[in-house]
């Protein structure tokens, strides 16, 4: 009977001692073995208005520096401005061909400018939005060029309103120059004909 009690009481201890394959390193970002790190986030062009496409290049690695191949090839991004922010969840990213390097493209829209406000906007890779298909996820926190240790990256973009286009009120001015030239030519020709007639008479 004593042996049975010892065996039964020992079972929970053995189960508790076994490490779980699925651990939680930070709230909301579980990991199977290791967490994915984003160590570079860079956006171009630096200045963009509505209609311009911004390309954000980012680099994903494991803690030992090994490049990560994302699976699926999607990541979530947060655009943070002075007036607010806008999320782009699980958007497609493009593998550059260089291990660990991916590109994300986003066209500046009126909605984006309204959400963030004009001026400086920071493009950020959102927490736990990168996966390698094996259960490894990351990053542990939102990452932008402001939080990476890479001094050469810059994910801050200055965004503005749509570019001004030619309006109907500006069109008469646009046609004024060629019209004036045509009128001057006609007047010159008339004067030439009048002179030639006077000479004949």
Q: What is the pLDDT of residues 155-172, one digit of tens each?
A: 999 998 866 554 444 454
Residue 50 counted as domain residue: yes
Residue 92 counted as domain residue: yes
Residue 188 counted as domain residue: no
Residue 165 counted as domain residue: no
Question: Whole-angstrom Cα distance, residue 60 to residue 138?
Answer: 9
Q: Which two tokens stand for residue 137?
A: 């996820």
Task: Give the CATH number of the domain where residue 114 resides.
Answer: 2.60.40.1930
Residue 135 counted as domain residue: yes
Q: What is the pLDDT of residues 37-83, one digit of tens each?
A: 999 999 999 999 999 999 999 999 999 999 999 999 999 999 999 99
Cα-trace Rg, the chain: 32
Residue 61 counted as domain residue: yes
Residue 12 counted as domain residue: no
Residue 52 counted as domain residue: yes
Question: How many structural domains is the chain composed of?
Answer: 1
| CA nearest neighbour of 112 among 185, 197, 53, 170 | 53
Which residue shows structure tokens 């890479």?
A: 150
For residue 138, give its domain range.
29-147
Q: What is the pLDDT of residues 78-130, one digit of tens each?
A: 999 999 999 999 999 999 999 999 999 999 999 999 999 999 999 999 999 99
Q: What is the pTM of this model?
A: 0.68
């Amino acid at each position: 009977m004593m042996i049975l009690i010892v065996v039964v009481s020992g079972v929970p201890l053995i189960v508790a001692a076994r490490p779980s394959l699925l651990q939680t390193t930070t709230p909301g970002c579980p990991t199977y073995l290791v967490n994915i790190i984003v160590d570079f986030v860079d956006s171009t062009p630096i200045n963009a208005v509505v209609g311009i496409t911004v390309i954000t290049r980012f680099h994903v690695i494991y803690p030992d520096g090994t490049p990560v191949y994302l699976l699926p090839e999607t990541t979530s991004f947060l655009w943070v401005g002075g007036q607010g922010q806008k999320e782009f969840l699980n958007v497609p990213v493009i593998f550059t061909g260089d291990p660990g390097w991916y590109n994300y493209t986003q066209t500046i829209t009126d909605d984006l400018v309204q959400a963030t406000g004009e001026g400086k906007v920071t493009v950020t890779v959102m927490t736990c939005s990168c996966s390698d298909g094996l259960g490894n996820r990351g990053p542990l926190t939102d990452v932008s060029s402001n939080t990476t240790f890479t001094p050469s990256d810059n994910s801050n973009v200055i965004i503005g309103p749509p570019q001004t286009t030619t309006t109907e009120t500006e069109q008469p001015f646009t046609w004024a120059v060629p019209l004036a030239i045509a009128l001057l030519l006609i007047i010159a020709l008339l004067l030439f004909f009048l002179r030639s007639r006077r000479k004949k008479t």
